[in-house]
Each structure stands twice: as structure tokens, then as C-alpha cells.
Amino acid sequence: MLPLGDLARSTLPAADAAQILLGERGRDVITILSIVSLPPMLNAILMIGTRILFAMGRDGLLWRRAAR
């Protein structure tokens, strides 16, 4: 869809691909969707480490104090 050189230089490759497929409006839609999905993704990334430690402590794979 995107030439390799354009893909390497692109800061927003998904938006650039949408622009080729759907025009300027497609680029805007993909950019907005990316911005809207960023906070929930960051929340999940921040929570996953502590949830893994909690589950390992609860299941006895780590010291039990980790579950607290």
C-alpha cells in the first residue's frame, strides 16, 4: 500500500495508509481513533504488571506478600 521509503519516513503510517485508501477524511478518522484509544491502552499497560504480581502471589508462585 505504502512504498517502503514512504513507510520508513512516516510518523503516522496507519493514517497515511488510510489516506491512500479513503482520502484525506480517512487520514483524519484514523488519527482521531488513534488518539481516542491511547488513554485506555496506557491504563491497561500500567495495570498489567501489578496484576501479574498479584496473581502470582495469590497462586503461590511468588511470595504471598506480593498479593497484598
* C-alpha grid cell, residue 61: 508462585
- Are residues 40 and 56 in contact, defined by beta-carbon separation less than 8 angstroms? no
- Are residues 18 and 27 in contact, defined by beta-carbon separation less than 8 angstroms? yes
Q: How far apart are CA 18 and CA 26, in angstroms?
A: 5
Domain of 17 in residue numbering reads as: 4-67
pTM of the full structure: 0.59
* Count of domains observed in the chain: 1
Model pLDDT for residues 8-62, shown as the tens digit of each residue: 888 888 888 888 888 889 999 999 999 999 999 999 999 998 888 888 888 888 8
* C-alpha grid cell, residue 7: 513507510
